[in-house]
Chain A
Amino acid sequence: MASEPATPGTETAGASATAAPVRPLLTLDDIQAGYGRAAMVLRGLTIEVPPGTVVCLVGPNGAGKSTVLKVASGLLKPRSGRVLVDGTDVTGREPQQMLSAGLAHVLQGHSVFREMTVGENVLLGAYTLRDKERVAERVEFVQNLFPIVGERWKQLAGLLSGGQQKQVEFARSLMVDPKVVLLDEPSMGLDPKTTATVFEQVVRMRDAGTAVLLVEQNARRALETADIGCVLDLGRVHITGPASELLADPQLSELYLGGRPGGAA
């Protein structure tokens, strides 16, 4: 699916890296965004997420990776630029409207409702759905995708391990059957074994039909999972291309991935 070579300096990421001219599910077009009166964090960033792909954003601290997701999910309003979901302009909408448009955001760290059961957490993911049959279908779907959810349904979510909590968050985000799931550093605070499980779940989400925009500090591990990689630097996409090619690029590996291909991440 990702066949073109990496293109250093390119400002458009995602769709440009795919061979087929498919309409992206999510487009962030020339986004400028920042917090309060502080300097701009994103400076003309453009990213596209095609259907059926995992697009991964990597980059140094402060590059604006998490800010990209906040703009996409409506937690942060961009100062200029457009956010398109499946071709529809949703720029500046509230998080609830972004959710209805098809974007679900899983926050950095742990964001389960700790003093609610796993079941309550997952059902809150369907807070905007009124159709009970549809909710029941989605519960069955996420329980199949993440068996731990069904097994621990009545337990308090705060008592689960870090990796299990992350799966509950994934399940919660899938309850509305989103077009794109935005994952912010899903491996944060997890041991290597649990991280591997979490990335397996990311692939399962994609294979189940949901595109994923993934932000990750663990760049090498994330690019091994992703179809398309984008390197962010100073608030814009610096390099983009098929994830496998980014991983194989020695210069890129030295600069952004912490060593040569195959070396320590």
Chain B
Amino acid sequence: MNTALLFQSLVLGVLLGGLYALLAAGLTLYFGVMRVVMIAHSAFLILAAYIAWYFNQQTGWDPLFSLLITVPLFFGIGVGMQRLLITRLRPATLTMMSVLLTFAIALFIEGMIGFVWSGTQRRIQLPYSGDSINFLGASVAVVKLMAFALAALSLALLYLLMKKSRFGQALRATIQHKEAAQLVGIRTDRVAGLGFGLGLATAAIGGTALSLDATIYPSLHWHWIGPLMAIIVVGGLGSIPGTAIAAMVLGIGQSLLQVPLGTTWAQTLFYVALFATLMLRPQGFFGGRLAQRF
């Protein structure tokens, strides 16, 4: 691999890693706050991508404007899901049963997308879809750069929300010690609902970012859930910074491996990393104490 190609792959890997970080952030948030394994997260990503595509089709406006609809909509759905469905699960078997429940939700969303928009593959055509810019000799597609910028901005906002706001403090306290959080006056059930809503709001943003540069179809979420799950396990379940680091490492790794191995084999990196993590360090490479930090 020559230096120019290596640099090109590295730049694309960073952009991909940033997007992965956002796509997986919600997934680790659900687990951190509620010990819920949210299989339907990627289905919501694809739903957001479809809404972005449909919005663009109907209005002719940039799909990014669909965020004005999808972010509050998904936030509301998330709060409703947690309050009406997740809280009905018995605490003792919550994690296991949440897999079944959210698997069913993923199937429902996939069926609904197919019913409403058919199984035809869709892709957003934008005036700038084919544009690219030159960055130190590497050619970077504008849509990839936009997706990365959206991801970076969202993660920065998430960071500020978690670190600086009263809600973020309550959410972090709930993650770290739920009973102690209740005893300082935090309504942990309400915080968990808002946390779930926040996770789904990131799915709305991630799905829209994805729609800029991906061909979408109803069952695409099955392609995504595996790598995203691998990222949060490698990063340490419940750890948002761990997720971001793992996403970046695996994104860059995948991008670098695509050149010698091709896209299909490069994808197996996620599963190799998953198995290696489970064998060598089941709590994740950035889990443990870091799992509770933001």
Binds A, one of B67-75, B80-88, B173-181, B254-262: B173-181
B169 in the interface, Cβ–Cβ < 8 Å?
A: yes
- Measured CB to CB, the nearest residue on chain A to B179 is A107
**Chain A residues with CB under 8 A of B170:** 127
**Chain B residues with CB under 8 A of A113:** 172-173, 176-177, 180-181
Q: Which chain A residues in 91-127 approach chain B with CB under 8 Å?
A: 94-96, 99-100, 104-105, 107, 111-116, 120, 124-125, 127
**Chain A residues with CB under 8 A of B180:** 107, 111-113
Cβ-defined contact, B183 with A115, below 8 A: no
Inter-chain CA distance A120–B171, complex, in Å, is: 13
User: Least Cβ distance of A34 to chain B in Å?
Assistant: 17
Interface SS majority for chain A? loop
User: Least Cβ distance of A183 to chain B in Å?
Assistant: 12
- Taking residues whose C-beta sits less than 8 angstroms from the other chain, chain B's interface range is 10 to 19
B208 in the interface, Cβ–Cβ < 8 Å?
A: no
Q: Which chain A residues in 185-234 approach chain B with CB under 8 Å?
A: none
- Measured CB to CB, the nearest residue on chain B to A99 is B185
Q: Return 14 A-B CB contacts under 8 Å, by A number.
A: A75-B182, A95-B182, A99-B183, A100-B185, A104-B183, A111-B179, A115-B289, A116-B169, A116-B173, A116-B176, A127-B169, A127-B185, A127-B186, A128-B184
Residues of A in contact with B (beta carbons under 8 Å apart): 73, 75, 94-96, 99-100, 104-105, 107, 111-116, 120, 124-125, 127-128, 158, 172, 176
Residues of B in contact with A (beta carbons under 8 Å apart): 166, 169-170, 172-173, 176-177, 179-187, 289, 292-293
11 further A-B contacts with Cβ under 8 Å, apart from A95-B182, A100-B185, A116-B176, are A94-B187, A99-B183, A99-B184, A107-B180, A111-B179, A113-B181, A115-B176, A125-B184, A127-B170, A127-B184, A172-B184
